Structure 1
Amino acid sequence: MTTDTDTAEAEVEAPPAAKRRVPRHRLVLAAAVIVALAAGGLLAFTEKQRGASPSANRALVDAEATAKAVGDVSNALVKVLSYQHGDVAATEKAAAQLLEGKAAGQYRALYGQVKAQAPAQRLTLTTRVVRAGVTRLSGDTAHLLVFLDQVSTRNGKPAGGTAAAQLAITARLRDGQWRITEIRSS
């Protein structure tokens, strides 16, 4: 038979683990991993529904081609999503070489604002690819999921915190180089 004192002692002896807080960066990392796993699971499910065999996805079997796609696309994103207020033309030139199709049109529409405002506001944007992975690679087309961090400065001083972004990228292999053909926020 349990008494009120037994219950009170059990409550007092409960481990303090339930009261511990998980650091914010671990929660963000856990959320990113969950999203990536869910995206991978959804991709696998849709491919199975379409009858495509996993072996048709070269991202699963061709490490060299997958690494090349990740490297080329990551380098391209850093070049076209970073700019210095004193030389916005360099970023525009990189975009003309690294973007095609829908991505090139999207970029031109958005970059017009940057060209007009960055020099006057003395803004610089630095982009860093945190993680990138190929979700599907077949023929000359690659689909990637890319996580970015961007930091802006004004006159060399921080102009805000780090902004994170998640992009779904489609790229095509042309002349041995992966070029971005579509950029979607995820």
Structure 2
Amino acid sequence: MTATQTAPETEPAATGESGPEPRAPRWRTAALATALTALLLGGGAFFHGAHQLRTTPSARNQALTDTAATTRVGGDVGEGLARIFSYTPTSADAAERNAGTVLAGRAARQYADLFAQVRTSLVEQRLTLSTQAVRTGVIELDGDGARLLVFLDQVSRRDKGAATTAAAQLTVTARYQDDRWVITDIETR
């Protein structure tokens, strides 16, 4: 062999051992880490969003989710208002007794003041008032407290005169106590 000639290339001998595993390209590792981070952040965001939905005031408002409780508070309050705002010259004492079981707090004081004024004209003018709750809407129901919008129809008659019909709209606050709903505040609208 001459100096200008080179030795023929030979293949490496097969030894039965493989060389080091080829490493994954860096971009694959980076993509995997990025995808994993995005999944974790996305999952955390969805978890936070679900928590926010469960803790909003509207989610806690049982008037939107508990039909039986909504019906119960509406019925108790509507019936209570009809009982305390329906009276005749001979049933004034019964109306006041009903108020003692239906009303509490500010509503009881409001009714006592109002009924003291009505009582004198009730007998003198032979005034009869009949009240019926025609529509009761529960605005908010949260545990043992509720706010309602109540529409009343009232028919009044003086002595033997013609009946006069009037409508009333009230915002009522009620509290659940002793296995019944008690009215704690009444506002006219």
Using the size of structure 1 for normalisation, the TM-score is 0.70
User: Do residues 164 (structure 1) and 164 (structure 2) align?
Assistant: no
Structure 1 CA distance, aligned partners of 2:146 and 2:156?
Answer: 30
Is 2:88 aligned against 1:84? yes
Say whether residues 1:147 and 2:151 are aligned partners.
yes
1:1-40 equivalences in 2 (<5 Å): none
Are 2:59 and 1:55 aligned? Answer: yes
TM-superposed CA distance for 1:117, in Å, is 1.2
Unmatched 5+ stretches in structure 1:
1-50
Q: Percent identity between the aligned chains?
A: 47
Per the alignment, residue 95 of structure 1 pairs with: 99
Query: What residue identity is the alignment partner of 2:109?
Result: G
Q: Indicate the RMSD between aligned Cα atoms, in angstroms.
A: 1.2
Matched, 1:115 2:133: no
SS of 2:149's partner is: strand
Normalised by the size of structure 2, how large is the TM-score?
0.69
- Residue 136 of structure 2 corresponds to 132
Which structure has the larger Rg over C-alpha atoms? 2
Partner of 2:187: 184
Unaligned runs of 5+ in 2: 1-54
SS state of the match for residue 184, structure 2? strand
How far 1:172 moved relative to its partner? 0.3
2:176 aligned partner = 173
Cα deviations across residues 11-57 of structure 1 (Å, max 9, x unaligned)? Answer: xxxxxxxxxxxxxxxxxxxxxxxxxxxxxxxxxxxxxxxx8332100
Alpha-carbon distance in structure 1 between the residues aligned to 2:106 and 2:56 = 26
Partner deviation per Cα, 1:116-154 (whole Å, 9 max, x = no partner): 110111110000111111000001001000011111012
Specify the SS of the correspondent of 1:83: coil
